[in-house]
Structure 1
Amino acid sequence: MPRTTALDPLFTAVDTESLTDRHLATLAAGTLAAARVPRFLDPAACAAAMVTLGRLPTADYDPARVPTPILRFGPALNDYRDQDGRLDAGRYWRDAEAARAAWQRAGMRPDPIAVSMARLGSAWGAAVTAATIGGRAVFGGTLREINAGALIHYDDIGREFPDGLFDQEVLAQLAFNVWVSVPAAGGATTIWRRRWEPADEQHRHAYGYQPETIAHCQHVSLTPQLGDALLFNPNNFHAVEPNPGRRRIAFAFFVGLTTTGQLIAWS
């Protein structure tokens, strides 16, 4: 069961057989901490994904920016910001098209990203579509192998690109992960009931923040099991603890609730 420091009775993590529009709405509103779907993917689908992974071009982040090794496939928009906080469009679209081509060549079946987006769309009652920039669909659906942990950080597309980025206006941002390989121990995701404040910059560390930032804050911690899916609001500070031994691999993307009530996706 999730480990919870009980202060706000609404800030909890729930296990559910399937996601609903209520889960998405409460996560978007910032009350629920996380919704987990055990066995979202069955063992056969996870095994098939692991076989296909060898056909995807993966690389580590620049250690100067990301001090803990994280293996990745697929471009994430926040990696393509220039010094003025704008998208380096030429470099991004080049890498996005290359990633799409590599994904098609890999021939992953079943496709964990397509399955995940279809189920989210069913829960919401309308299909999840790709976010667009100038009418052009962005890449959605990255692969991340995090074994050495991830720093305390938050994700907020509105702060990453304060001048706006998508054709759609995003009201709330959610993060989706589904694991196709998990360690026997460790690797928990912790989510704090705490969002960024300007004074937090004194605790900045590489892409993340020092533990003082979230000291004494209410939190939930969830250790992934094979095939589990996790949906949470990444505007809250969150982190991944290191794990020994077996690989911790997830497919992931962001989901945005727009001003018109649509769900859009990006990485």
Structure 2
Amino acid sequence: MASAPTAPTALIARDPLFAAVDAPAFTARHLARLAGGTLAAVRVPGFLDPAGCRAVTGALDRLPTAPYDPGRVPTPVLRFGPALNDYRLPGGGLDTARYWPDADAARATWGRAAIRPDPVAHALALLGAAWGSAVVPATVGGRAAFGGTLREIDAGLLMHYDDINREFPAGLFDQDVVAQLAFNLYVSVASGGGATIVWRHRWEPADEGHRDAYGYRPAAVEGRQRVELPPHPGDALLFDPAHFHAVEPNRGPGRRIAFAFFLGVTTGGRLVVWS
């Protein structure tokens, strides 16, 4: 007796809910679906208009940028503003002696630069309006974390994931975060390349066999579903960074510059922000 036909492997492996959508604006439903794992990414074209992008990029020389430590991040990336993960101690705590002075200095520098329109304030206002309550900084011991780094990524980023609850398993924030989203607002892009790729894969212990510097080798996501999101000036992108993700190198002239931060959904249903 002949065996019953089986469905193609591609159909079995594919999750129809793991998809990226373009929308005219972010909505509370978008954020809830991303947090719940029933959407891969949401992109809003024209989140910042062309005049705003030109004004912001023209003012960026007022912000000092510095590269990551090449011993930790082998792909060259310029950035402004501290990211919590760069101040993580070997035991999982936060190096407050370095972090708070750097966060205070970055806020002061940002204020003096007086970039208008303010891309971070613009983004937080629209996201808060969509959610129905203002986005507030995540706090550590009552002090507000810095939120809103600038990064120029021209040579790409290795595949990696971001998860504040794994990075600081003993807890860091005064708020309990149950879901984390990554936000990027592109103010300048190259003529080609620079796409963000998100895979339907979260960290598993076996992935450590594919470790490569701060990230992972492609074999960790072999056969996994993915979405590819090329950047355009003024685009805003939201996705769940616990999924493995990477940035392709530029394939043409131009600079890929974005403002970025993380949003956390708390147990109380609030949105908090940090970088």
Fold conserved between structures, TM > 0.5: yes
In the alignment, is residue 238 of structure 1 matched against residue 233 of structure 2? no
Aligned to 2:40: 33
Alignment of 1:153-164 (within 5 A): 153-164=160-171
In the alignment, is residue 253 of structure 1 matched against residue 251 of structure 2? no
In the alignment, is residue 200 of structure 1 matched against residue 207 of structure 2? yes
The higher radius of gyration belongs to 2
Counterparts of 1:82 and 1:26, CA distance in 2: 33
The TM-score, its normalising length taken from structure 2, stands at 0.95
Give 1:90 deviation, angstroms: 1.0
User: Aligned letter for 1:266?
Assistant: W
Give 1:245 deviation, angstroms: 1.6
SS in 1 for 2:62: coil
Counterparts of 2:37 and 2:151, CA distance in 1: 25
Counterparts of 1:62 and 1:76, CA distance in 2: 13
Q: What is the total number of aligned residue pairs between the two structures?
A: 263
Alignment of 1:204-223 (within 5 A): 204-223=211-230
Counterparts of 1:19 and 1:257, CA distance in 2: 15
Counterparts of 1:215 and 1:52, CA distance in 2: 41
Give 1:60 deviation, angstroms: 0.4
**Which digits, 9 at most, give the CA deviation of each residue in 1:40-87, with x for residues without a partner?**
000111111111110101000011100000000000000001111110
SS in 1 for 2:121: helix
Aligned to 2:149: 142
SS in 1 for 2:53: helix
RMSD: 0.9
Alignment of 1:157-176 (within 5 A): 157-176=164-183
Aligned to 2:94: 87
Counterparts of 2:136 and 2:152, CA distance in 1: 25
User: Aligned letter for 2:68?
Assistant: Y
Aligned to 1:14: 21
Aligned to 2:6: none
SS in 2 for 1:25: helix
The answer for unaligned runs of 5 or more in structure 2 is 1-9
Aligned residues: percent identity? 67
**Which digits, 9 at most, give the CA deviation of each residue in 1:121-145, with x for residues without a partner?**
0110000000001111110000000
Displaced runs of 4 or more, over 4 A: none
Counterparts of 1:130 and 1:155, CA distance in 2: 18
Match of 2:270 among 250, 259, 262: 262
